[in-house]
Amino acid sequence: MQSIASKNKKEGQWSSNSVYHTFRHELGHSLQNEHELNDANWLKKRSEIENIKNSLEKELTNLSDSDKMKLKKAKLSKYGFESVDEFISESVAEYANNPIKARTTAKSVVEILL
């Protein structure tokens, strides 16, 4: 399991190299459901997170496919850019793995959730 996790992180599919990555990622989706049901400010928070994703995607404009992948990997993960939901879940998984070492994208998204 560790070798699969390490490979997925190295290739940029995952935002962390933890064996718990998938579990934490899915927990991120559950957290989104929880906020959607019980957080009166959810739409505002989700919109703020979407703005972070959109501004990162603007940096991707005019880059080669290879450089786009590198930037997605450097900012979060390739999978995290599939949709806002995956962007949030990949951020939660990275932050849960190590809140101190989490990169700016993951920290910013989790700060908005909290």
Contact positions toward Zn ion, by CB under 5 A?
86, 89
| Residue showing tokens 């070492």 | 101
* Minimum separation from the CB atom of position 23 to Zn ion (A): 12
The distance of Cα 35 from the centroid of its chain, to the nearest Å, equals 17
Length of the chain: 114
* Minimum separation from the CB atom of position 79 to Zn ion (A): 7
Q: Of 81, 82, 84, 109, which is closest to residue 94 (Cα–Cα)?
A: 109
If you write DSSP's letter for every residue of 54-82 in order, what string do you get?
Answer: HHHHHHHTT--HHHHHHHHHHHS-TGGGS
Residue closer to Zn ion by CB (options 8, 89) is: 89
* Minimum separation from the CB atom of position 90 to Zn ion (A): 8
* Minimum separation from the CB atom of position 75 to Zn ion (A): 17
Residue closer to Zn ion by CB (options 86, 94) is: 86
Residue closer to Zn ion by CB (options 26, 67) is: 26
Question: Which residue is closest to Zn ion by CB?
Answer: 89
Q: How far apart are CA 107 and CA 87, in angstroms?
A: 12
Residue closer to Zn ion by CB (options 26, 59) is: 26
